[in-house]
Structure 1
Amino acid sequence: MAENDRDDEEPKVHDKRRIDPETGEPREQTPAPAADAPADDKAPEGGDDGLSDDDLALLADAERDLVAEYREIAARAQADLKNFRTRVERDRAANREAVIAEVIRSLLPVIDDLDRADAHGDLVEGAPLMLVSQKLRAGFERYGLRRVGEVGEPFDPNFHEAVVQVPEEGAEGETVKDIIQTGYALGDRLIRAAKVAVSVPASE
């Protein structure tokens, strides 16, 4: 641009007076943008939602606490489910054992008859009745049925029923002297106590 052209330009004057000198009326004031106001295209500090760093930190802590709480709830629920399944399996096994015990208890008179037949020599090897006895006992043993009561063992009221007491000189404590009726147990469950004669120390 030529130097003459710059000289021809008129200087621009900004009239910042609050009162119009011609009318004497107050002029409308246009508020100036605050110096610290963010630009239209600039997000405020702390994120688009206008939260401060402290607010964001509090939200993060709350989120971590909530996640930890839900994890604890899930862990407790899983433990409760595991315990429930364990109880169901235990109850199922106990009910199964109770049913088997009841069936065996109902058949004990048959076993007693077979025992008496065997004692009288009626069960001959290879005879049909002997085969029935062997199969019946093998089937019960497969379920864990065992005899209770042996001559010479200490008397145990949990497994023995003392039908008669026999005083004996030199006897120490109470001992099974004879088996009157065989007892049976299924695992740890007593089905029938053994009826026994018990030798006891002779009274002086």
Structure 2
Amino acid sequence: MTSPETGSPEPDEFVEEVVDVTVDETADAETAADAAAAPADAAPEAQQVTELTEALQRERAQFANFRRRSAEEALQSVARGKQVLVEKLLPILDDLDRAREHGDLDEGPLRAFADKLTGILEGEQLVKFGEAGAAFDPEIHEAIQHEGSSDSPVVGLVYRAGYRLGDKVIRTATVTVTDPA
């Protein structure tokens, strides 16, 4: 609507056009700002995802280590329990050995008991060592007497047998050491 007198647009039309342009320019500016902010917002989100992923991986690794460590500790506890039990049974095994040496276990009810106990302990990997004539090893033998001066001594008499549970020496053998014959 133009004014007939001046030929220029009426003030209301002018205002509407200016407002429309301003609204369009503002909308374009906001869209541009949103477009510029979107990559900026995406970068912190991507960084946060990366950080959380790394934290999750660390937690998983720590949990795997915890499970492995717990399993190892459980096995060590079982082994320690076996060792404690066997150490308590060693005096009984010594008594059975003495009875066997004197012939008291050749027959009778104690022989069955001794055989069962020995079989069970051997099944748990208990090994007796310290036989006369074996090479002397200071790691597994305790020498209480030494006769001779040889560089390669052997076990003479065995006063108390030694025992090994698996690879671990539970008790050293108490022996005398002599020169080889």
TM-score, structure 2 as length reference: 0.77
Letter in 1 for 2:21: A
Distance 1:66 1:154, change over 3 A: farther
SS at 2:155 equivalent: strand
Cα distance in structure 1, aligned partners of 2:106 and 2:57? 64
Q: Percent identity, please.
A: 30
- What do the CA deviations read for 1:153-189 (whole angstroms, capped 9, x no partner)? 4433332211111214xx3234333322111121233
Cα distance in structure 2, aligned partners of 1:150 and 1:64? 72
Cα distance in structure 1, aligned partners of 2:47 and 2:129? 61
User: In structure 2, what is the equivalent of residue 62 of structure 1?
Assistant: 44
Letter in 2 for 1:15: S
Cα RMSD between the aligned structures?
3.3
Cα distance in structure 2, aligned partners of 1:76 and 1:151? 57
- What do the CA deviations read for 1:74-127 (whole angstroms, capped 9, x no partner)? 1111111121122222222222222222222112111111111111222225x2
Count of residues paired in the alignment: 174
User: In structure 1, what is the equivalent of residue 124 of structure 2?
Assistant: 143
- Asked which structure has the greater CA Rg, the reply is 1
Deviation at 1:60, TM superposition (A): 2.4
User: In structure 2, what is the equivalent of residue 181 of structure 1?
Assistant: 160
Tell me if structure 1 keeps the 8 A contact 2:155–2:175: yes
Name stretches of at least 5 consecutive residues in structure 2 with no aligned partner. Answer: none
Name stretches of at least 5 consecutive residues in structure 1 with no aligned partner. Answer: 1-10, 19-26
Distance 1:61 1:103, change over 3 A: same
Name the structure where helix makes up a greater proportion of residues.
Answer: 2
Distance 1:151 1:65, change over 3 A: farther
